[in-house]
Amino acid sequence: QKVEWAVLKNEATVSADGQAVEIGANIGTPKDIAGVLDNGGEAIGLYRTEFLYMGRDQFPTEDEQVEAYAAVLKGMQGKPTVVRTLDIGGDKELSYLDLPKELNPFLGLRAIRLCLEMPDMFRTQLRALLRASVHGNLKIMFPMIATLDEFREAKALLLEEKAKLQAEGAEVSESIEVGIMVEIPSTAVMADTFAKEVDFFSIGTNDLIQYTMAADRMNESVSYLYQPFNPAILRLVKMVIDASHLEGKWTGMCGEMAGDEIAIPILLGLGLDEFSMSASSILKARSQISKLSKAEMAQHTDRILALSNSQEVEDYVTKLSAK
């Protein structure tokens, strides 16, 4: 099997009926790029920049950040590279950032909420991204967006920093797409409205499942509720993909679900444009997609979304795949 996958390394990802999708990788540091290219990654679908801020005793400087972002963009040689702005809080803490203890950290001041609360810190990251943008195909993504106002506020800060940099004579790419993670149900439900203003969506199922099912993704005692195949999740995913396509935008997925063998046929049928996963899963997923007909899977989606629970969905797809 490994041999069969290896020949796909330099191939595009195309379904059995000739429909192209993109498989990207999730990374945490510039060092991960080698593994992405080695495994035939067509893109970076998620660069989690928080690791740049972790394991140290002060914020990374603007120049340090430029270096890391430029390294990733250069390493990807012009391939699409989605960089997510800082997603700290929740389960991820910074020793040098003394945040008040919260009763429900996952529902608290994290990610974009914290960045908008600490605009100086956020502006530094945005400037570093803009300065690095000339080195590749940068797409900027904001995490944990719950309302359109948050997106507008974040994007306004980005445009302000861009104007400042240009006034200083710095070069900034003019083709940076600006998108959001869809990992909060309110945003999935309002996707049609968001789609008019964002350039793309990336569905973060790790959080979307926890918030939709109200089940902490780290809590073993409620892990039975952590159900990627619950039709509630699939219906939200469909809403997001359909909304983006109506506005001529694209939707990716960067949660664990994107690399799941049972999820892939469903997501292909729903019209997902980009699958982002750990590098080691890419070739297997490309091979699986090459054997699936997107049109045929699309014919099953209405029936799959009308099923009544997670188990029925899994059984349905397993039976299809066995044919």
Contacting residues toward Mg ion, per CB under 5 A: 183, 204, 207
**Do 233 and 210 meet the contact criterion of CB atoms below 8 Å apart?**
no
Closest separation in Å from C-beta 16 to Mg ion:
32
Q: Transcribe 73-87 into DSSP letters.
A: HHHTTTSEEEEEPP-
Q: Give the nearest distance from C-beta 138 to ligand PEP in angstroms.
A: 18
Q: Does 206 bind ligand PEP (CB under 6 A)?
A: yes
Q: Could you say which of Mg ion, ligand PEP, none residue 48 binds, taking C-beta under 5 to 8 angstroms by partner kind?
A: ligand PEP
Q: Which is nearer to Mg ion, 62 or 216 (CB)?
A: 216
Question: What's the CA gap between 220 and 306, in Å, rounded?
Answer: 28
For 96-156, give the secondary structure using H, E and C.
CCCCCCCCCHHHCCCHHHHHHHCHHHHHHHHHHHHHHHHHCEEEEEECCCCCHHHHHHHHH
- Stretch of 4-12, 15-23, 185-193, 201-209 lying at the interface with ligand PEP (CB under 6 A): 201-209
CB of 206 to Mg ion, least distance (A): 5
Window 143-182: contact mask with ligand PEP (x via CB under 6 A): ----------------------------------------
State in angstroms the smallest separation of the CB of 18 from Mg ion: 33
Under rule CB under 6 A, which residues in 91-150 are in contact with ligand PEP?
none
Q: Toward Mg ion, which CB reaches closer, 191 or 317?
A: 191
260 binds, among ligand PEP, Mg ion, none (CB under 5 to 8 A by kind): none
Strand-pairing partners, residue 138, are: 81
274 binds, among Mg ion, ligand PEP, none (CB under 5 to 8 A by kind): none
As a whole number of Å, the end-to-end CA separation of the chain is 19
Q: Can you state the angle between helices 294-305 and 231-246, rounded to 10 degrees? A: 130
Does residue 81 interact with ligand PEP by CB under 6 A? no
Q: How far apart are CA 137 and CA 12, in angstroms?
A: 18
Residue 24 binds which entry of ligand PEP, Mg ion, none, with Cβ cut-offs from 5 to 8 Å by kind? none
Measured between alpha carbons, how far is 187 from 136 in angstroms, rounded to an integer? 29
Nearest to 15 by CA among 293, 320, 277: 293
Q: How far is the CB of 92 from Mg ion (least distance, A)?
A: 10
Fill in the amino acid letter for 220.
E
> Counting contacts by CB under 6 A, is residue 260 touching ligand PEP?
no
- Which residue, 89 or 204, is less far from Mg ion as judged by CB? 204
Longest Cα–Cα distance of the chain, Å, equals 62
Identify which of residues 72 and 292 has a Cβ nearer to ligand PEP in the complex.
72
Applying CB under 6 A, among 207, 260, 273, 274 the residue interacting with ligand PEP is: 207
255 counts as binding ligand PEP under rule CB under 6 A = yes
User: Contact 41/292 with Cβ under 8 angstroms?
Assistant: no
To ligand PEP, the closest distance from the beta carbon of 205 in angstroms equals 5
If the CB atoms of residues 32 and 183 are measured against Mg ion, the closer one turns out to be 183
What torsion, rounded to 10 degrees, do the Cα atoms 265, 46, 256, 37 define? 70
Using an 8 Å Cβ cutoff, are 132 and 124 in contact?
no
| Site for ligand PEP, residues 9 to 48, rule: CB under 6 A | 46, 48
Q: Crossing angle, helix 205-213 and helix 231-246, to 10 degrees?
A: 120
301 binds, among ligand PEP, Mg ion, none (CB under 5 to 8 A by kind): none
Which residues of this chain interact with ligand PEP, rule CB under 6 A?
Answer: 46, 48, 87, 183, 204-207, 254-255
